[in-house]
Amino acid sequence: MTDVIATNQTILVVGGGISGMTAALEAAECGKNVVLVEKNPALGGRVSQLYRYFPKLCHPTCGLEINLRRLKQNPRIRVLTMAEVTAITGGEGDYSATVKLAPRYVNENCTACGECSKAVDAEVLDAFNYNLGKTKAAYLPHKMAYPQRYVLDPSIIGTADADKAKAACKYGAIDLDMKEETVQFKAGAVIWATGWKPYDAAKIQPYGYGRFSNVITSVEFERLADIHGPTKGKILRPSDGKEAKNIAFIQCAGSRDENHLRHCSRICCMASLKQTNYVREAYGDAGKSTIYYIDIRAIDRFEDFYQKVLKDPTVSFIKSKVAKVTQDEKSGDVILHGVNTEGYHRYATPHDLVVLAVGMEPSVTGANLPAEIVSDSSGFIEADPANHAFFGAGCASNPLDVNRAVQSATASALRAIQVVNRVARVEG
């Protein structure tokens, strides 16, 4: 049985991405006790699946390393992975949280030696790589996974593979009898940092995502460029593994669109500008990127980055919301149809690969929120007194870039501290 020791001076942080980790760390480094709940088997969230950040082009795993080191040496944070909050009751300064823990089938004896993975035959889709590849059914979610412990995919439980994995483990780390557990604990304040999910691109029917293999999303493109990704960092198109040198980026794929997401997702322009650098990095002058956009939203000093990309002769910009995408079955090329609205020029342009700059949908959408929470028309949690000590942080509260998500998370940590400090003053 997992026990969680918490009081109503504890801060519950839901979501272990960069926002949740930040909120948890900032509060803990201020001397507060925190329970950090993450749905996936490892911390890091969506930024750990990015290859590089804009505008510095540095690697998100670098910051993850620092945050993990802060976390590893801080005894005030209790991390629960494969955990989902199913209910929150009570009120400000006196919440009670119910958390469901899915079985990992691997206990803390795991040394991450990898023998179980070698032993099993079955493969499952690799969620870390947005299902672009497969991984063994006994797997470490990714190279920097924390906790550094393997996971058995539930699909092999009860099969010979599970027994093989168990037999391969010399350390008694595999526990095939693990069951789903439910734990309950107290919390004074709740920080909801469940982040975002990429808008379901298949819903944007004219762009052919799901029908055409060479139409992919911007988050998938990150995995193609990453050394830890399914192509080991090579930009190859899915249909035939050919080097994708001529790449189209379609902006506002879902965003700024009343048929899909009403809001602007803020990050997508910068993400595509950044991704043109991946093309240049891979193919030099032989690469070609075309950005189809409505407005380039390179806000504040990000403008520098936009200006730099504007000067890159391999990158062109077309002010147009693409009307339709088709794929040539023989060549595998994808053809973009539309009108350049600057002066009215019609185009039907073939590309090797199309990257849809998909919008940010709050992960709150569709989740069974355990309390009556005020959110805006897009489903982002608003800062509202009616939410009491339940605070949105990061992309659960607004479509934000990493920098701003971390600011938001830091602010949310203070709001939570204000509550637990009040509780502490009352309780002495």
Partner 1 sequence: MSEKYHNNFLKEVEEMVEEGEWVKMCMQCGVCAGSCPLGPHWAHPPQEIFMMIRAGKREEVLRSDSMWMCTSCYNCVVRCPRKLPITHIMHGLANYAHRLGLSPKNQPTQQFATLFWNNLAQTGRVNELKLSLGIYFKDGFAQGVKNAMAMQSVGLGMVKAKRLNPMELFGGHGVKDKTGFHAMLKKAKEIEDRRKNFA
Partner 2 sequence: MADMKVAAYICQGCGLGDRLDTAALAGVAKKEGKAALVREHEFLCNAEGVKMIRDDIANEAVTHVMIGACSRRAKTEAFGFTDVAVSRANLREGVIWCQPETDEARETTQEMAEDYIRMGCAEVKKMTLPEGNPAAVTERSVLVVGGGVSGMTAALEASKAGYKVVLVEKFGALGGWAAKLHKRSPGKSPYAEPQDTPVADMDAAIAADTNIKVYLNAITSKTAGSPGQFEIEISTESGSTTTEKVGAIIQATGFSLYDANNLPELGYGKSANVVDQAGLEALAKAANGGVIKRPSDGGEVKTVVFVQCAGQRDDTGKHLPYCSGSCCSTSVKQAMYFKDANPDIDTVVIYTDLRMPGNGEDFYRSGQNKGVTFTKGKVSSVEAAGNQCKVNFHDLILNDQTAIDNADLVVLATGQVPNSGVDIDTKLKADIAAAAGDNSLLEAYNASQAEGAVQPISVLNLTYRQGPDVPQLKYGFTDSHFICFPYETRRTGIYSAGPVRRPMDMVQAMEDATGAAMKAIQAVENAGLGRAAHPRSGDLSFPKVRLEGCTQCKRCTVECPFGAIDEDEKRFPVFNESRCRRCGTCMGACPVRVISFENYSIDTVGSQLKAVDVPDEFSEKPRILILACENDAYPALDMAAMNRNVYSAYVRIIPVRCLGSVNTIWINDALSSGYDGVMMMGCKHGDDYQCHFVKGSELASYRMSKIGDTLKQMGLEEERVATFEVAITDIERVPQLINDYAAKIQEIGMSPLKGF
- Considering only the stretches 1-9, 87-95, 273-281, 381-389, report the one whose residues sit in contact with partner 2 under the rule CB under 8 A: 381-389
- Nearest CA to 293 out of 256, 263, 261 is that of 256
User: Site residues for partner 1, window 290-329 (CB under 8 A)?
Assistant: 294, 319-324
**C-alpha to C-alpha distance for 199 and 358, rounded to whole angstroms:** 6
Chain centroid to Cα 329, Å, comes to 32
Residue 168 CA neighbour count, 13 Å, CB half: 22
User: Site residues for partner 2, window 33-52 (CB under 8 A)?
Assistant: 51
The angle, 0 to 180 degrees and rounded to 10, between the axes of the packed helices 18-28 and 402-427 is: 40
Per CB under 8 A, 413 contacts partner 2: yes
CB of 383 to partner 2, least distance (A): 8
Per CB under 8 A, 339 contacts partner 1: yes
Residue 351 partner contact from partner 1, partner 2, none using kind-dependent CB cut-offs of 5 to 8 Å: none
Name which position in 177, 259, 301, 313 contacts partner 2 (CB under 8 A).
301
Name which position in 121, 240, 328, 382 contacts partner 2 (CB under 8 A).
382
Helix or strand or coil: residue 316?
A: strand
CB of 294 to partner 1, least distance (A): 5
Interface characters, 70-109, with partner 2 (x: CB under 8 A): x-xxx---------------------------------xx
User: Site residues for partner 1, window 341-360 (CB under 8 A)?
Assistant: 341, 344, 346
DSSP sequence for 41-92: SSS-GGGGG-S--TTT---HHHHHHHHHHHHHT-TTEEEE-SEEEEEEEEET
Query: Rg for the chain (alpha carbons), in Å?
Result: 23
The verdict on whether omega for the bond into residue 55 sits within 30 degrees of 0, i.e. cis, is yes
Per CB under 8 A, 277 contacts partner 2: no
Name which position in 279, 357, 415, 423 contacts partner 2 (CB under 8 A).
415
CB of 33 to partner 2, least distance (A): 14
- Nearest CA to 170 out of 212, 114, 89, 99 is that of 114
Residue 184 partner contact from partner 2, partner 1, none using kind-dependent CB cut-offs of 5 to 8 Å: none
Per CB under 8 A, 259 contacts partner 2: no
CB of 86 to partner 2, least distance (A): 27
Per CB under 8 A, 349 contacts partner 2: no
The first and second tokens of residue 215, run together, are: 């139409």
Per CB under 8 A, 258 contacts partner 1: yes
292 vs 302 by CB, closer to partner 2: 302
Per CB under 8 A, 202 contacts partner 2: no
DSSP sequence for 220-246: HHHHHHSTTSTTTT--B-TTT--B--E
DSSP sequence for 356-393: EEEPEEETTTTS--SS---B-TTSPBP--GGGTTEEE-
- Nearest CA to 47 out of 380, 400, 308, 415 is that of 400
273 vs 325 by CB, closer to partner 2: 273
- 286 DSSP assignment: G
87 vs 294 by CB, closer to partner 1: 294
CB of 25 to partner 2, least distance (A): 8
Residue 407 partner contact from partner 1, partner 2, none using kind-dependent CB cut-offs of 5 to 8 Å: partner 2
Per CB under 8 A, 234 contacts partner 2: no
Contacts with partner 1 by CB under 8 A lie at 206, 252, 256-260, 294, 319-324, 337-341, 344, 346
